[in-house]
């Protein structure tokens, strides 16, 4: 990234660290970030307000 994006890069890095601590993403030096193994239902349930017209459908990973 360019020097002008330092603030954005730092914010994204901190967000990835927080998600990694929750096991939502897995990161590896030089390998990028991947979806982790933690169930996302509690996270999503906190984002969808009660009584919302939206329904959360969890995928089946078999």
**CB 38 within 8 Å of CB 22:** yes
Task: Encode pLDDT of 24-33 as tens digits.
Answer: 888 888 888 8
Supply the pLDDT for residue 1. 46
Q: What is each CA distance from 6 to 3, 28, 40, in whole angstroms?
A: 6, 21, 29
- Eight-class DSSP state of 50: T
In angstroms, rounded to a whole number, what is the distance separating the alpha carbons of residues 30 and 32? 6
Tokens 């590896």, residue? 28
**CB 24 within 8 Å of CB 18:** no
**Comparison of pLDDT for 23 and 41, the residue scoring more:** 23
């Amino acid at each position: 990234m360019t020097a002008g994006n330092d603030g954005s890069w730092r914010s994204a890095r901190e967000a990835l660290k927080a998600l990694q601590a929750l096991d939502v993403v897995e990161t590896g030096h030089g390998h990028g970030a991947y979806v982790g193994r933690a169930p996302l239902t509690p996270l999503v349930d906190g984002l969808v307000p009660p009584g919302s017209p939206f329904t959360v459908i969890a995928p089946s990973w078999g």
